Structure 1
């Protein structure tokens, strides 16, 4: 075997070994805090929070689980004994005000979550909506210790597109993430993603999801996407527009 071929073989073996070394799987649990102060909330947000004073207390009872590999993840709320005495209505209100909708999934390109199918509005899990989250992260050298791990700070924006007056507009909400490069997984709680390490803490709109514990395993039991129709946000909007037109309902 020629020297060049031998060097190439060793290079390939090294690359494969390095890739395998980066394969990570496991699960992480998170708690959530909902701020009620005027620093982290707009006046509109505060007025809503004041209508539901139980939200902070109920949010403190909630726990969430992120199951992950290097290529996929699933995030959902887990049952706790404390919540058994809380009404379903108060739980749903709290979920809304902490930015949690339902079980969600990530893969290398998209974020997936349940949404209503306008053909059957009563079915809250009628289809799967897939979106790309473009946070345009700015990673800083600032670090902090979370448990035994060193995490780095990243700032970005949650980009939301909406329709107003017949035109699509963009609104940006600042987000902050503390991520851990020691765990090379590009996922995090709720819709957080696309950083070179697992997100330990995720902050936005006066909401903070923080890691409580983590368990690294050889594999994660990630449930596959439900067998439902998958639409992009643009396709979903187009369907809604056509339905509104058929029903002669104004749609902005």
Structure 2
């Protein structure tokens, strides 16, 4: 009981620190390792093999791709009120015909806490001004990730289906950033767990050299599109692909 009370106090203190983030000059670089979850791969392979319309050779090839998928690398850079999260493209390996990767996406995200903006960059559809507001349920469950004590939080408003998303954040680093569009907790998010993939911090560098920080801002704000326009364009692309089959 006492431990839980102390944990709650720590989290509340951290929340206060994060709310005053703008007055601080906190900066950092976080490397994340993205991996497909084994349970997801297993269920995908079962569903694939149960489809009688797919040739056996195709099933075997796709199964190998999923079983042999290599992890992806992502980087989160943050300084003051801004953060930038992006995918790190690996060196091409001609011996590997295709890498499924982690299924955690290739999209970049720019966040500005002062303006309360989050912008998603999609190479095919442009820059999207997101209106995503994540509501977290913070628990007292804790674990260590590296040297940091992290607390478990659950994604409450399931915008993208009923499957829960779990975040592990550390109040020891008082910024409210995290990978992808996951943010808003009283501490840096070091791990995200979804049904399909996980993102886990493998290296945290605080107050790095200024030249190592990569924060890309939108160059032409007039070309920003809304989430509604993004969804419309994505639907049109899917329909065009379907018609071309």
Tell me whether the two structures share a fold, i.e. TM-score over 0.5.
yes
Q: Which residue of 1 aligns with 2:55?
A: none
Could you tell me whether the CA contact under 8 Å between 1:34 and 1:208 is conserved in 2? Answer: yes
- TM (norm. structure 2) is 0.68
Q: How do 1:137-176 and structure 2 match up within 5 A?
A: 137-157=136-156, 159-160=158-159, 171-176=161-166
Query: 1:26 deviation in Å?
Result: 1.2
Q: Which of 65, 80, 97 is the equivalent residue of 1:54?
A: 65
Matched residues in 1 for 2:176 and 2:167: separation?
12
Is 1:227 paired with 2:220?
A: yes
Is 1:33 paired with 2:35?
A: yes
Specify which structure has the higher proportion of strand. 1
Matched residues in 2 for 1:153 and 1:146: separation?
12
Structure number with higher relative contact order (C-alpha < 8 Å, ≥ 6 residues apart): 2
Q: Which residue of 1 aligns with 2:120?
A: 113
Query: 1:238 deviation in Å?
Result: 5.8
Query: 1:221 deviation in Å?
Result: 3.3
Q: Which residue of 2 aligns with 1:85?
A: 93
Alignment coverage as a number of residue pairs: 205
Instruction: Give the superposed CA RMSD.
Output: 3.6
2:162 alignment partner, SS class: strand
Matched residues in 1 for 2:41 and 2:156: separation?
16
1:54 alignment partner, SS class: helix
Query: 1:237 deviation in Å?
Result: 4.3
Name stretches of at least 5 consecutive residues in structure 1 with no aligned partner.
1-14, 116-123, 162-170, 248-252
- TM (norm. structure 1) is 0.66
Name stretches of at least 5 consecutive residues in structure 2 with no aligned partner.
1-16, 50-58, 241-245
Matched residues in 1 for 2:108 and 2:187: separation?
22
